[in-house]
Structure 1
């Protein structure tokens, strides 16, 4: 396969992800499978690399803007590791057709959730200060069982499907820990790095089977496209972007489901 195709598609996906602010992994898997010819399990593994690289790229800027709760993110991320490992080991044992069918259900669920989400609910971010320990200890004010449950669930999604899980991590950080949306989205990058890293490590027996030039080129091009898409996002209302993302996911779900039924 020409290596130009992953670059072109990667830039296009990156623009969409940059404009909508999410969806790298959840879009990468069906693209890698149905457009770039990757086997489903290999696509999930390659998608985790995209998630990690994207988070590494975006995290420094969010940290400079004081949008990262380091202690909360580390605790949530560490708690998600077990779920990531279990999800990864379960995933590699699932039939590829069943995996893609389940992925279609995930796409539909997230797409409907985004359509019902009326813009960004901006939970107030309390002032943060390096000298104020309370600014980084939201975990201590929440039920440990609730935090562990939410983190494990997010980790399972990351490991099983090879997605970043930001669509699950951000709501969990806001609802369980009471962190504001802006800070939650920044902190989720740290969580996703830990969770996706653990999930990738748990796929040790599949890593050698991946045709790495394709997902790596795709990931690099997607990161470049993301920078372009970020500029476009500043000109659109959050509610419009949220609904557009929901429609896009439902369309991808339709295509993914159809291709799966037809045997790709």
Structure 2
């Protein structure tokens, strides 16, 4: 359907702009947006969001390297391994947590990040 494609493209543009400008936007925009405009279940939404984040992140890495950025291999590897371990733990834990609780925890995390960003902005302007 053309209308759905347009809505999804708009969401993609917003998520891409936020990712490009702030380094955030993937899950924080994609998950709630897909929940609102599609009939996908929460597990499909998460999987779709992760695939989108993977593709966008890969493109971002290639662009950084093309611009001459050199990733600190030790730190990057340690962080990537820790994230992979956390993801594996999360995949096991999700089997025991109802979708409604996952959505509430996600919403609380988004709220907490928003509050943190506001506090950080206020502190920067008071310096």
Shift of 1:13: 2.8
Q: Secondary structure at the match of 1:37?
A: coil
Provide the rounded CA distance (Å) in 1 between the counterparts of 2:64 and 2:75.
Answer: 15
Shift of 1:51: 1.3
Pick one of 104, 110, 113 that aligns with 2:113: 110
Shift of 1:38: 2.2
Provide the rounded CA distance (Å) in 2 between the counterparts of 1:98 and 1:47.
Answer: 18
* Alpha-carbon spacing, 1:118–1:98, altered in 2? closer, same or farther (3 Å): same
Residue in structure 2 matched with residue 53 of structure 1 by the alignment: 55
Q: Secondary structure at the match of 1:3?
A: helix
Residue correspondence of structure 1 range 57-206 to structure 2 within 5 A? 57-63=59-65, 64-118=67-121
Give the root-mean-square deviation of aligned CA atoms: 2.3
Q: Secondary structure at the match of 2:96?
A: coil
* Alpha-carbon spacing, 1:78–1:20, altered in 2? closer, same or farther (3 Å): closer
Residue in structure 2 matched with residue 211 of structure 1 by the alignment: none
Contact 2:16 2:25 in 1 (8 A): no
Question: Which structure: greater helix fraction?
Answer: 2
Q: Which runs of 5+ in 1 are unaligned?
A: 120-238, 241-264
User: How many pairs are equivalent?
Assistant: 121
Q: Which has the higher contact order (CA 8 A, sep 6+)?
A: 1
Contact 1:25 1:50 in 2 (8 A): no
Contact 1:32 1:43 in 2 (8 A): yes
Pick one of 13, 16, 20 that aligns with 1:14: 16
Residue in structure 1 matched with residue 37 of structure 2 by the alignment: 35
Contact 1:33 1:43 in 2 (8 A): yes
Contact 1:6 1:36 in 2 (8 A): no
Provide the rounded CA distance (Å) in 1 between the counterparts of 2:20 and 2:79.
Answer: 25
Shift of 1:67: 4.7
